[in-house]
Structure 1
Amino acid sequence: MSPIILAITGSSALQLGEKSLELLLANQKEVYLILSKGAYEVFLSERNIKIPIDSVKQETFWRNRLNIYTGKLKCYKWNDHSAAIASGSFKTKAMAIIPCSMGTLGRISSGYSLDLIERCADVHLKEGRELLIAPRESPLSLIHLRNMIAIKESGAKIIPPMPAWYTNPETLEDMIEFIVVRFFDTIGEDLAPIKRWKGRK
């Protein structure tokens, strides 16, 4: 089972990252989770959720919070540069950054690996592996757009978290799940049943 590195950065819409973790584990995936330093602060300020920084305690936290005990989960601290996943010799299926802040995006674009998330993204680009990025900002500046182009030209997939209304969503949870499932569709992972466009009858 090839693992998936899941990174959650300090951008609004952290529910997307949490739903990604939930669906990946529910589908028996092996997940290596990294929260950026800013993500801890945003979880606390936006959702009043205090996440343990200690890796072992955090694994227990997520298992209990999501009530999912399938799949494999290993958590890493944002500055753990000695982690196995920081090396190109460590094989993975893909890396997903959801949501991705513009700061993280800019540093990946310039090859500036300040933390473990950026180092792992750099590894996936240099190794030619799948790198999925869900940029979360509005409006976008020309700098943001140029950074996205640079990363796309380097082989990453830029997948803005866009909802769809043809599914007739009834709740915010419906929209979040749709966005996450479509995000992972790009690497052939069918994580949950969603209403897909079939054309007009």
Structure 2
Amino acid sequence: MTPQRLVVGITGATGAAYGLGLLRRARALGVETHLVVTPAGVLNAHHELGLSRDALAAEADHTHAPGDVGACIASGSFATAAMVVAPCSMKTLAAVAHGMGDNLLTRAADVTLKERRRLVLMVRETPFNLAHLRNMTAVTEMGGIVFPPLPAFYLKPTSIQALIDESVERVLQLSGIQGASPQAWGGLRN
């Protein structure tokens, strides 16, 4: 059985709240987390959430520096349930799509794909240009899941936090994490 381990990557795209939400919800579910934050991800977490690098790292069980390509998550022999990049910049998407494991985050994503584990990329950019779309197609063809965090208004969320929480639950469920519980659509009721 695959251990309940989750690798979480945070890049400089907007939406650091998704990465933070994943770390917190995974902890609540008893999932061991391994965090990699790019330098731009640290800047963005500070700007959007007011969190320092240390405060963000405190939300994870294990934190790895982006330059530490010898970390455990850089090897396929280190079993994980999945990896989620939340948020995922277009730069990171392009690196994953083209197998450019030039830092620990992209190397871990490459390992996740080669081991046929779940890789979920919460891409953040609009509108998409042709390069973005082609890179999303390439990642999908390799077995990755492209998951732009689009709100599910049909669930009638009452706050921004509710929108974030629902996306986090859906991503955790897609990642095979036991206990994830996104709201199910019950159909229209007249």
Normalising by structure 2, what TM-score? Answer: 0.91
Spell out the pairing of 1:140-179 with structure 2 (5 A cutoff): 140-179=128-167
Q: CA RMSD in A?
A: 1.7
Q: In 2, distance between residues paired with 1:192 and 1:3?
A: 14
State whether structure 2 residue 118 is matched by structure 1 residue 118.
no
2:80 paired residue number = 92
Aligned-residue offset at 1:180: 0.9
Q: Quick one: which amino acid aligns to residue 44 of structure 1? A: H
Gaps of 5+ in 1: 64-72
Counterpart position of 1:62: 59
Question: Sequence identity of aligned pairs in percent?
Answer: 33
Q: How many residues align?
A: 187
Q: Distance in 1 between matches of 2:92 and 2:123?
A: 9
1:102 to 90, 94, 98: 90
The answer (yes or no) to whether the contact 1:24–1:191 under 8 Å persists in 2 is: no
After superposition, what is the alpha-carbon deviation per residue over 1:100-129, rounded to whole angstroms, capped at 9, x for unaligned?
A: 000000011111112100000111111111
Shift of 1:184: 1.8
* Distance across 1 between alignment mates of 2:34 and 2:124: 21
Which of 42-51 and 153-162 deviates more?
Answer: 42-51
Partner of 1:40: 42
Amino acid aligned to 1:37: P
Task: Measure, in 1, the Cα distance between the counterparts of 2:56 and 2:148.
Answer: 28
Aligned to 1:31, what secondary structure does the other structure show? strand
Deviations 1:172-191 (A, max 9, x none): 11111011111222133365
Give the whole-Å Cα distance in 1 for the aligned partners of 2:150 and 2:115: 28
Q: 1:88/1:44 Cα in 2 relative to 1: closer, same or farther (>3 Å)?
A: same
- Correspondence for 1:3 among 2, 5, 19: 5
CA separation in 2, counterparts of 1:42 and 1:187?
24
For the 8 Å contact 1:2–1:91, the answer to whether it is kept is no
Alpha-carbon distance in 1 for matches of 2:76, 2:124: 27
Structure 2: segments with no counterpart, 5+ residues:
none
User: Does the Cα contact within 8 Å between 2:9 and 2:86 map onto a contact in 1?
Assistant: yes
- Name the CA distance, whole Å, in 1 between partners of 2:4 and 2:23: 16
